Amino acid sequence: MAVVVTVVIALVLAFCGCVGLGVLGSLVDDSTTSGQPYDPEFDEPGGGLAGEPTDAAPPVPATTPSGGPGRFTVLYEVSGTATVDVQFYDANADFLQLDGVRSPFRLAFTANDRERVQIIASPTGSGKASCRITINGKVVSQDSGQWAATCFGW
């Protein structure tokens, strides 16, 4: 019963919020401007505005720990239909995300912390993704799924 009451309250609050935003939006006059004339000098050739941040280069995973050579060797393997989004810890235990990676994806590195050996693969469209982690030549984790595959190194 408590779940039903909670759901009803959430729906009522969502409805009231939408109605409130609609009323607020109708009160704002769309004909007003900032008073700033258009100045083509501020437009970039690519269509963006000058000073806008550009897309950063994808992160480069560390393959050896910054504190030394690493105690064990790790191999991440990901496959899927076409491209996948991949999230993982690298050799420095930094969590990285690479979007739209071509399948198959492989990354070998040395590490010191097995708790920071993890990879998540998600297909960018429909299809499946799979992952596998090998430590010192032995497969320690593998998974596949429709929405995502998650592998752990511990």
What is the H or E stretch that residue 76 is in?
strand 72-80
Does the residue 61 lie in any domain? no
Whether 129 has a pLDDT exceeding 80, the answer reads yes
Task: Specify the CATH number for the domain of residue 82.
Answer: 2.60.40.2880
The number of distinct structural domains making up the chain is 1
What is the spatial distance between Cα 9 and Cα 92, in angstroms, rounded to a whole number?
A: 46
Q: Which range of residues forms the domain containing residue 145?
A: 72-152
Task: Please report, for residues 74, 106, 113, 152, 153, the alpha-carbon distance to residue 71 in angstroms, rounded to integers and kept in the order given.
Answer: 10, 20, 8, 17, 14
Whether 134 has a pLDDT exceeding 80, the answer reads yes
Does the residue 42 lie in any domain? no
- The pLDDT of residue 19 is 40
pLDDT tens string 13-56 = 444 444 443 433 444 444 444 444 544 454 445 544 555 555 67
More confident residue, 93 or 57: 93
- The pLDDT of residue 59 is 80
pLDDT tens string 62-121 = 888 887 788 999 999 999 987 999 999 999 999 999 999 999 999 999 999 999 999 999
pTM for the whole structure: 0.62
Does the residue 22 lie in any domain? no
